[in-house]
Chains A and B, each alone.
Chain A
């Protein structure tokens, strides 16, 4: 009985995480420019991985493997934004902001 309740919550959290990952993939395709696509990737990176890790933690229970899964979540949350920030800062300083973003926005409004 206990195991079934646990599996129920695991499935709910995993499906929520996969839903957010799917939405983030759709966003990468739908958004018009580089910086907005980074937003879409960030959604899958934080919420998708977060929900999947919480789901796996519930499945494992509070033991050494479960704690390691939570540790994976924390570390991925520390490492993810640093990579995103490096990518977007390089793009910003190389002048992508002026060129591609403005052009594409103007094209959309026309």
Chain B
């Protein structure tokens, strides 16, 4: 049986992604309907297969530099779950830090830090930027085409945890990539090319 989704060219096999997406949609159906009669289950599986068949070609992200297409759900689900719980723990720790800063104003010392982390998959970059913003005390201001992140931190201790590079390494594991993380010192940040054409 041949699956051909128009011009659905991605890294990896399209059929595996199709099955993955329909399984994901079916689990979502089960969670939202909460009924297990055969009629509902059959209806749910038919609709999730149909939706996955229509939507799979649209769920690809293109890397602008290399031109490769990546499927959105091309992740290691086990690592994604462990990453999520690690992120919850991290959010709690830095949330306490921000609470301390708000209640005691002398700790307020904002600064901008830079680091370079170039992922091949654009979804990984988006996940990293969203995780940084979700963690209280750090906000992603901008990502350049070269993978330079500009992060605004509320004080030095919030930035330290980020610059250690644990989060970057874990996300590289989720997306099955190699991690080439390095923090940028103050001096190098003057040579980052300005980008306005995005």
Interface residues of A (CB under 8 A from B): 20, 23-24, 26-27, 30-31, 35-36, 38-40, 42-43, 46-47, 50, 64, 67-68, 71, 77-78, 80-82, 84-85, 88-89, 92-93, 97, 101, 105
Contact = CB atoms under 8 A, between A and B. Distances in A.
A97 B111 CA distance: 11
B41 to A, nearest CB: 15
B103 A39 contact: no
B46 interface: no
B137 interface: yes
B142 A92 contact: yes
Interface string B149-181: 010101000000000000000000000000000
Contacts of A68: 31-32
B139 interface: yes
B99 to A, nearest CB: 5
A39 B133 CA distance: 9
B68 to A, nearest CB: 24
Of B99, B135, B140, most A-chain CB atoms within 10 Å = B99
A26 B101 CA distance: 11
B191 interface: no
B15 interface: no
B57 interface: no
A107 to B, nearest CB: 14
Contacts of B139: 35, 38-39, 42, 84-85, 88
Interface residues on B, range: 20 to 34
Given A43-B98, A85-B140, 5 more contacts: A35-B110, A35-B141, A46-B136, A64-B34, A68-B32
Contact of B108 (A36, A46, A81): A36
Contact of A40 (B98, B134, B140, B141): B98
A93 B142 contact: yes
Given A88-B139, A88-B141, A46 B196 contact: no
B141 to A, nearest CB: 5
Contacts of B154: 36, 39
Interface stretch (B16-24, B88-96, B116-124): B88-96
Contacts of B146: none
